[in-house]
Amino acid sequence: MIEELPPLQPLRIPAGWLVEYNDLREADASPRSIEAAWLREDLLQLKHPRAGLLLDVGWYGDAESGEFAVYVQDGDFHGRCLHEFRSRDRLSVVAEVERLLRSY
């Protein structure tokens, strides 16, 4: 039997941002979610071509000590890191992502 994934996390994405990929789920970190392999480094990536920005969200670490990380970078992954935010709390990450999307 195939286990059903939690639904995608709803996000408010302003005009100008392009979704490269989105696998950020509406579920909190737990040992089970880590084992399910949907909580991983590549969760959400957005680009703002006109502003030349990249916003990236991922999970780093295991269920016990891991956390979400949000990065805003100039251009792409090789560009200067303009902002970094880390938290184990998914709703804090969502609030920070939406705040960043509005502010740039």
Residues 44-61 have pLDDT tens digits of 999 999 999 999 999 998
* Residues 57 and 93 sit within 8 Å (Cβ to Cβ): yes
Q: What is the pLDDT of residue 29?
A: 76
Q: What is the mean pLDDT of the chain?
A: 90
Q: Residue 39 — very low, low, confident or very high, per pLDDT cuts 50/70/90?
A: confident
Kindly state the tokens that stand for 16: 């100008």
Q: How big is the CA angle at 16 (ends 26 and 83), to the nearest 5 degrees?
A: 65
* Residues 86 and 68 sit within 8 Å (Cβ to Cβ): yes
Q: In degrees rounded to 5, what are phi and psi of residue 22? A: -145, 115
Determine the Cα–Cα distance for residues 38 and 15; give it in Å rounded to an integer: 27
Q: What is the pLDDT of residue 85?
A: 98
Full-prediction pTM beyond 0.95? no
Position 35 pLDDT exceeds 60: no
Q: In degrees rounded to 5, what are phi and psi of residue 54? A: -130, 130
